[in-house]
Amino acid sequence: MKNKKIRAIIFLILAAVGIFFDQWTKRLAVLHLMNQPSRKIIPGVFELSYLENPGAAFGMMRGKQFLFFVIMAVVILTILWLLVRLPLTKRFFPLLLCMVLIFSGAIGNSIDRMSQGYVVDFLYFSLIDFPVFNVADIYVTVGTIILIIFSVFFYKDDDFRFDKE
Protein backbone atom coordinates (compact mmCIF):
# COMPACT_ATOMS: atom_id res chain seq x y z
CA MET A 1 0.00 0.00 0.00
CA LYS A 2 2.84 2.38 0.85
CA ASN A 3 4.42 1.91 -2.61
CA LYS A 4 1.11 2.70 -4.31
CA LYS A 5 0.87 5.93 -2.31
CA ILE A 6 4.41 6.85 -3.35
CA ARG A 7 3.56 6.08 -6.99
CA ALA A 8 0.42 8.22 -6.74
CA ILE A 9 2.40 11.10 -5.22
CA ILE A 10 5.05 10.86 -7.95
CA PHE A 11 2.32 10.71 -10.60
CA LEU A 12 0.63 13.81 -9.18
CA ILE A 13 3.91 15.73 -8.89
CA LEU A 14 4.85 14.93 -12.50
CA ALA A 15 1.34 15.81 -13.66
CA ALA A 16 1.46 19.10 -11.71
CA VAL A 17 4.79 20.00 -13.36
CA GLY A 18 3.33 19.20 -16.78
CA ILE A 19 0.18 21.20 -16.11
CA PHE A 20 2.22 24.14 -14.79
CA PHE A 21 4.43 24.16 -17.91
CA ASP A 22 1.36 24.03 -20.17
CA GLN A 23 -0.38 26.87 -18.33
CA TRP A 24 2.82 28.93 -18.22
CA THR A 25 3.35 28.64 -21.99
CA LYS A 26 -0.28 29.60 -22.62
CA ARG A 27 0.12 32.62 -20.35
CA LEU A 28 3.22 33.65 -22.29
CA ALA A 29 1.23 33.27 -25.52
CA VAL A 30 -1.50 35.56 -24.17
CA LEU A 31 1.02 38.16 -23.01
CA HIS A 32 3.23 38.18 -26.11
CA LEU A 33 1.18 36.88 -29.04
CA MET A 34 -2.42 38.01 -28.50
CA ASN A 35 -3.45 40.70 -31.03
CA GLN A 36 -0.02 40.45 -32.65
CA PRO A 37 1.03 39.12 -36.05
CA SER A 38 2.47 35.60 -36.11
CA ARG A 39 6.11 35.32 -35.13
CA LYS A 40 8.06 33.31 -37.64
CA ILE A 41 10.59 31.19 -35.74
CA ILE A 42 11.73 29.22 -38.81
CA PRO A 43 10.31 31.04 -41.85
CA GLY A 44 8.06 28.80 -43.92
CA VAL A 45 8.23 26.04 -41.31
CA PHE A 46 7.26 27.04 -37.76
CA GLU A 47 5.46 30.05 -36.26
CA LEU A 48 4.02 31.23 -32.97
CA SER A 49 0.46 32.30 -33.72
CA TYR A 50 -2.20 33.10 -31.10
CA LEU A 51 -5.56 31.35 -31.48
CA GLU A 52 -8.54 30.92 -29.16
CA ASN A 53 -9.85 27.40 -29.81
CA PRO A 54 -13.39 26.64 -28.56
CA GLY A 55 -13.07 23.02 -29.78
CA ALA A 56 -10.89 20.11 -28.74
CA ALA A 57 -7.41 19.29 -30.02
CA PHE A 58 -6.78 20.81 -33.44
CA GLY A 59 -10.24 22.45 -33.46
CA MET A 60 -12.28 19.24 -33.39
CA MET A 61 -15.64 19.00 -31.55
CA ARG A 62 -16.34 22.71 -31.85
CA GLY A 63 -19.65 23.50 -30.13
CA LYS A 64 -19.92 20.10 -28.44
CA GLN A 65 -18.73 21.10 -24.97
CA PHE A 66 -20.91 18.67 -23.02
CA LEU A 67 -19.76 15.67 -25.06
CA PHE A 68 -16.19 16.86 -24.71
CA PHE A 69 -16.45 17.05 -20.90
CA VAL A 70 -18.00 13.57 -20.75
CA ILE A 71 -15.13 12.15 -22.80
CA MET A 72 -12.55 14.00 -20.68
CA ALA A 73 -14.14 12.73 -17.46
CA VAL A 74 -14.04 9.14 -18.75
CA VAL A 75 -10.38 9.50 -19.78
CA ILE A 76 -9.34 11.05 -16.46
CA LEU A 77 -11.26 8.48 -14.38
CA THR A 78 -9.79 5.63 -16.44
CA ILE A 79 -6.28 6.95 -15.89
CA LEU A 80 -6.86 7.27 -12.14
CA TRP A 81 -8.35 3.75 -12.01
CA LEU A 82 -5.32 2.35 -13.88
CA LEU A 83 -2.98 4.23 -11.56
CA VAL A 84 -4.48 2.37 -8.61
CA ARG A 85 -4.73 -1.01 -10.36
CA LEU A 86 -1.40 -1.31 -12.21
CA PRO A 87 1.13 -3.66 -10.63
CA LEU A 88 4.17 -2.01 -9.07
CA THR A 89 6.75 -3.27 -11.58
CA LYS A 90 9.24 -1.62 -13.93
CA ARG A 91 7.35 -3.22 -16.81
CA PHE A 92 4.54 -0.69 -16.39
CA PHE A 93 6.72 2.41 -16.00
CA PRO A 94 6.27 3.46 -19.69
CA LEU A 95 2.51 3.11 -19.26
CA LEU A 96 2.63 5.34 -16.18
CA LEU A 97 4.56 7.99 -18.12
CA CYS A 98 1.95 7.86 -20.89
CA MET A 99 -0.75 8.29 -18.28
CA VAL A 100 1.06 11.32 -16.81
CA LEU A 101 1.28 12.93 -20.25
CA ILE A 102 -2.35 12.26 -21.19
CA PHE A 103 -3.62 13.31 -17.74
CA SER A 104 -1.54 16.52 -17.76
CA GLY A 105 -2.73 17.46 -21.23
CA ALA A 106 -6.36 16.71 -20.43
CA ILE A 107 -6.29 18.74 -17.22
CA GLY A 108 -4.28 21.59 -18.80
CA ASN A 109 -6.78 22.11 -21.60
CA SER A 110 -9.75 21.54 -19.28
CA ILE A 111 -8.53 24.36 -17.03
CA ASP A 112 -8.65 26.74 -20.00
CA ARG A 113 -11.98 25.45 -21.25
CA MET A 114 -13.65 25.79 -17.84
CA SER A 115 -12.16 29.19 -16.99
CA GLN A 116 -12.35 30.86 -20.43
CA GLY A 117 -14.61 28.76 -22.65
CA TYR A 118 -11.72 28.17 -25.07
CA VAL A 119 -8.18 26.83 -25.15
CA VAL A 120 -5.20 29.01 -26.06
CA ASP A 121 -3.28 27.52 -29.00
CA PHE A 122 -0.09 29.08 -30.33
CA LEU A 123 2.20 26.55 -32.05
CA TYR A 124 1.86 26.39 -35.83
CA PHE A 125 3.74 24.29 -38.39
CA SER A 126 3.16 26.35 -41.52
CA LEU A 127 5.22 23.99 -43.70
CA ILE A 128 2.44 21.40 -43.61
CA ASP A 129 -0.36 23.80 -42.62
CA PHE A 130 -0.94 21.77 -39.46
CA PRO A 131 -3.67 23.12 -37.14
CA VAL A 132 -2.46 25.47 -34.39
CA PHE A 133 -1.94 23.59 -31.12
CA ASN A 134 -0.44 23.93 -27.63
CA VAL A 135 1.75 22.05 -25.15
CA ALA A 136 -1.19 20.12 -23.66
CA ASP A 137 -2.05 18.84 -27.15
CA ILE A 138 1.56 17.62 -27.47
CA TYR A 139 1.26 15.78 -24.14
CA VAL A 140 -1.97 14.03 -25.17
CA THR A 141 -0.73 13.17 -28.66
CA VAL A 142 2.70 11.88 -27.62
CA GLY A 143 1.27 10.01 -24.63
CA THR A 144 -1.38 8.35 -26.80
CA ILE A 145 1.07 7.39 -29.57
CA ILE A 146 3.52 5.86 -27.10
CA LEU A 147 0.65 4.09 -25.33
CA ILE A 148 -0.53 2.56 -28.62
CA ILE A 149 3.00 1.48 -29.59
CA PHE A 150 3.59 -0.16 -26.21
CA SER A 151 0.13 -1.76 -26.22
CA VAL A 152 0.68 -3.29 -29.65
CA PHE A 153 4.36 -4.28 -29.46
CA PHE A 154 5.28 -4.64 -25.78
CA TYR A 155 2.36 -5.53 -23.55
CA LYS A 156 0.30 -8.70 -23.81
CA ASP A 157 -3.33 -9.28 -22.86
CA ASP A 158 -2.21 -11.12 -19.71
CA ASP A 159 -0.40 -7.99 -18.52
CA PHE A 160 -3.78 -6.33 -18.03
CA ARG A 161 -5.51 -9.06 -16.05
CA PHE A 162 -5.55 -7.23 -12.76
CA ASP A 163 -7.40 -10.00 -10.91
CA LYS A 164 -4.21 -12.11 -10.77
CA GLU A 165 -2.55 -9.82 -8.18
| Structure confidence by residue, pLDDT tens digits, 33-70 | 999 999 999 999 999 999 998 876 555 556 666 777 78
Rounded (10°) angle between helices 65-85 and 2-33: 150
Q: Residue 39 in 3-state DSSP?
A: strand
Q: Given this model, what pLDDT does residue 132 score?
A: 94
pLDDT higher at 75 or 139: 139
Q: In a 3-state reduction of DSSP, which class is residue 28?
A: helix
Report the alpha-carbon distance of residue 54 to residue 61 in Å, rounded: 9
Total of domains in the chain? 1
DSSP 55: S
Question: How many Å apart are CA 100 and CA 21, to the nearest integer?
Answer: 13
* pLDDT, tens digit (0-9, with 9 covering 90-100), for 126-145: 999 999 999 999 999 999 99
Q: Give the residue numbers spanning the domain of 90.
A: 2-164
Residue 160: pLDDT band with limits 50, 70, 90: low
Q: What is the pLDDT, as a whole number, of residue 18?
A: 98
Active centre residues (catalytic):
121, 137
pTM for the model stands at 0.83
Q: End-to-end distance of the chain based on CA atoms, in angstroms?
A: 13
Question: In this predicted model, what pLDDT tens digit does every residue of 103-123 receive, in sequence order?
Answer: 999 999 989 988 998 999 999
